[in-house]
């Protein structure tokens, strides 16, 4: 079987994404990697240097580069994210596609499990995707956010050429008719570092993403980390490719030592999380897929 990787990124340098590390983490599993880089103008000449950085970082033939214009008129409800994902997805030539976002990473310890999952998917024509577990880091990479407000699982590997598309804000995938994809699940993790950057970089990131969801004229407040509900210590290891990025992006603040910020609106989430902690059952959990054996 031929396996393709695919991803998209815009302003990866200025917004502090570990986008090169994300690509490096899927590369050993792939025969080709399609990288869609976003630009500010229709001629695709204005970006923050991310495109040239990646071209120099990955000069091998297995890396295929695309340029795309991020139309500000599409930047509502995060729809530009699925649009850009689909540009990359449509360009892959493999039988399967491994998807990684610019703030996600695979751990090398999971490669064998992922390859086994690919073999299972090859034999199971009733399924078209593979679901991974998630670690969502917050503030620093020794803290994870585990609550009903964060998704525990999502599709990150799909069968190609069967009409699958990225959906809404690109969290997951659907069939062309918007129906959920039948998937198998494997015991491998996506390491998500989107909320583990330095505060000043996070302010730029949250401002950029607020505009993606609410329009280019929307104004956002300056970002500051606080001890929100659902934070726990993380005692596992990180992907080797993330070592340098983690050292450069560690915050001095000890978030778990701060007073806990609680609000009345958190009551239902806290009750649900407490039941999940006791039973491992998440009440009303939203799943963007259908699991099959």
Q: What is the DSSP string of 197-229?
A: S-HHHHHHHHHHHHHHHH-TT---PPP---B-T
In the chain, % helix, strand, coil (3-state, to 5) comes to 30, 30, 40
Predicted local confidence at residue 126, as pLDDT: 96
CB-based contacts of 151, cutoff 8 Å, min separation 6? 134, 171, 286, 288
Both tokens assigned to 77: 């409800």
Please list, residue by residue across 239-274, b when 16 or more beta carbons sit within 10 angstroms of its beta carbon and e when fewer do: bebbeebbeebebebebeeeeeeeeeebeeeeebbe
pLDDT at 4: 98
Measured distance CA(192)–CA(26) in Å, rounded: 14
Three-state secondary-structure class, residue 52: helix
Q: What is the pLDDT of residue 208?
A: 64
pLDDT at 293: 87
- Give the residue carrying structure tokens 């491992």: 280
pTM for this structure?
0.92
Q: What is the pLDDT of residue 215?
A: 62
Question: Whole-angstrom Cα distance, residue 182 to residue 276?
Answer: 25
> Cβ atoms within 10 A of the Cβ of 207, count?
16
- Per-10-residue mean pLDDT of the chain, 293 residues long, equals 97 95 98 98 97 98 97 80 97 98 98 98 97 97 95 97 96 97 98 87 66 60 85 97 94 90 87 92 92 94
| Predicted pLDDT of residue 266 | 85
What was the pLDDT predicted at 253? 85
Q: Retrieve residue 2's tokens.
A: 């031929």
- Structural domains of the chain in order of their starting residue, each with its CATH number: 1-293 (3.90.550)
Contact 60, 27 (CB under 8 A): no
Q: For position 120, what pLDDT does the model report?
A: 98
Q: How far apart are CA 130 and CA 246, in angstroms?
A: 28
293: exposed, middle or buried (C-beta count within 10 Å: 0-12, 13-18, 19+)? exposed
- Going by C-alpha positions, the residue among 229, 233, 232, 231 that lies closest to residue 268 is 229
Three-class secondary structure of residue 175 per DSSP: strand
Can you point out the beta strands (E) in the chain?
3-9, 32-39, 63-69, 96-99, 104-106, 129-138, 140-145, 153-159, 164-167, 172-175, 181-195, 231-233, 289-291
């Amino acid at each position: 079987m031929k396996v393709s990787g695919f991803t998209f990124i815009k302003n990866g340098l200025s917004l502090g994404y570990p986008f090169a590390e994300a690509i490096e983490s899927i590369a050993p599993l792939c025969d080709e990697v399609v990288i869609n880089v976003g630009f500010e103008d229709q001629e695709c000449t204005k970006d923050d240097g991310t495109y040239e950085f990646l071209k120099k970082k990955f000069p091998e033939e297995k890396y295929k580069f695309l340029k795309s214009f991020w139309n500000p008129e599409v930047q509502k409800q995060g729809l530009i994210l699925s649009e850009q994902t689909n540009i990359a997805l449509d360009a892959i030539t493999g039988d399967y596609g491994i998807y990684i976002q610019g703030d996600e990473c695979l751990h090398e310890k999971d490669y064998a499990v992922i390859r086994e999952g690919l073999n299972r998917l090859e034999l199971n024509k009733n399924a078209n995707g593979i679901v991974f577990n998630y670690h969502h880091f917050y503030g620093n990479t020794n803290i994870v956010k585990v609550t009903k407000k964060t998704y525990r699982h999502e599709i990150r590997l799909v069968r190609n050429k069967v009409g699958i598309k990225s959906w809404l804000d690109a969290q997951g995938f659907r069939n062309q008719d918007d129906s959920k994809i039948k998937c198998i699940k494997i015991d491998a993790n996506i390491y998500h570092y989107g909320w583990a950057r330095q505060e000043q970089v996070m302010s730029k990131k949250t401002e950029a993403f607020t505009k993606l969801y609410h329009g280019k004229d929307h104004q956002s407040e300056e970002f500051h980390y606080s001890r929100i509900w659902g934070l726990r210590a993380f005692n596992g290891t990180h992907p080797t490719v993330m070592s340098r990025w983690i050292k450069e992006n560690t915050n001095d603040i000890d978030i778990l030592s701060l007073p806990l910020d609680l609000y009345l609106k958190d009551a239902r989430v806290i009750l649900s999380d407490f039941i999940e902690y006791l039973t491992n059952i998440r009440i009303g959990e939203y799943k963007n897929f259908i699991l099959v054996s």
